[in-house]
Amino acid sequence: MPPGVDPEAFSWFQTVDADHSGYISIKELKQALVNSNWSAFNDETCLMMINMFDKTKSGRIDIFAFSALWRFIQQWKNLFQQYDRDRSGSINFSELQQALSQMGYNLSPQFTQLLLARYSQRASNSSIQLDSFIQLCTQLQSITDAFQEKDTGRVGSVRLSYEDFLTMAATRML
Ligand SMILES: [Ca+2]
């Protein structure tokens, strides 16, 4: 087993690496991850996570990157279970509102509703599964970081040129 790699992540890697190439492709990752309703993780979230941990820009990840990705997913899974207060296996509007507030976001109910509509599956417009929860929180954090880099005085508003705005959006779209 490679040094610094979690034994559980290592064992999972062997299973997920279906063609034994030594790398996990987005297709293999997608097949390995399921939500609590047994649906496969959505493509957008899998692509986002591969891009986050694939430092070589090859579209696949080795055991070390996979180990980091595995920890990342475990952390979000724990938070998801913590915020899923009614143990339904999904996050509804009030659970999402509470989750975001506990993460330090100060968002209106209207904006939370917009997030829920954007990230929930078409079939269930009122709640989100683990994959979309990871995607929502990661993208919200990334966009918030971009804003706060500009909002140096922490006043909650910034002046942006059109191209600054586009740059912010383009570089944060994972
Ligand atoms: Ca719930």
Tell me: the pLDDT tens digits for 8-27? 889 989 988 988 999 999 99
122 located within any domain:
yes
φ, ψ for residue 24 (rounded to 5)?
A: -105, 125
Distance 131 CA to ligand 1 centre (A): 14
Side-chain-facing half-sphere of 65: CA atoms under 13 Å:
19
Distance 96 CA to ligand 1 centre (A): 9
Count of structural domains within the chain: 1
What's the CATH code of the domain at 79? 1.10.238.10
Confidence category of residue 75, pLDDT binned at 50, 70, 90: very high
Confidence category of residue 32, pLDDT binned at 50, 70, 90: confident
The fraction of the chain above a pLDDT of 90, given in percent, is 68
Mean of per-residue pLDDT scores for the chain: 91
- Report whether pLDDT(125) > 90: no
Q: What domain range is 82 assigned to? A: 7-172
Distance 128 CA to ligand 1 centre (A): 9
Report how far residue 39's alpha carbon sits from residue 35's, in angstroms, rounded to the nearest whole number: 5
- Ion ligand 1 contact residues with beta carbon within 5 A: 84, 86, 88
1 located within any domain:
no
The pLDDT score that the predictor gives to residue 18 is 84
Distance 138 CA to ligand 1 centre (A): 20
The pLDDT score that the predictor gives to residue 126 is 85
126 located within any domain:
yes
The pLDDT score that the predictor gives to residue 1 is 78
161 located within any domain:
yes
Residues 49 and 172: beta-carbon distance below 8 Å: no
The pLDDT score that the predictor gives to residue 122 is 66
14 located within any domain:
yes
Alpha helices in the chain (DSSP H): 7-16, 26-32, 43-53, 63-83, 93-102, 109-119, 130-150, 162-172
Distance 2 CA to ligand 1 centre (A): 38
Residues 39 and 129: beta-carbon distance below 8 Å: yes
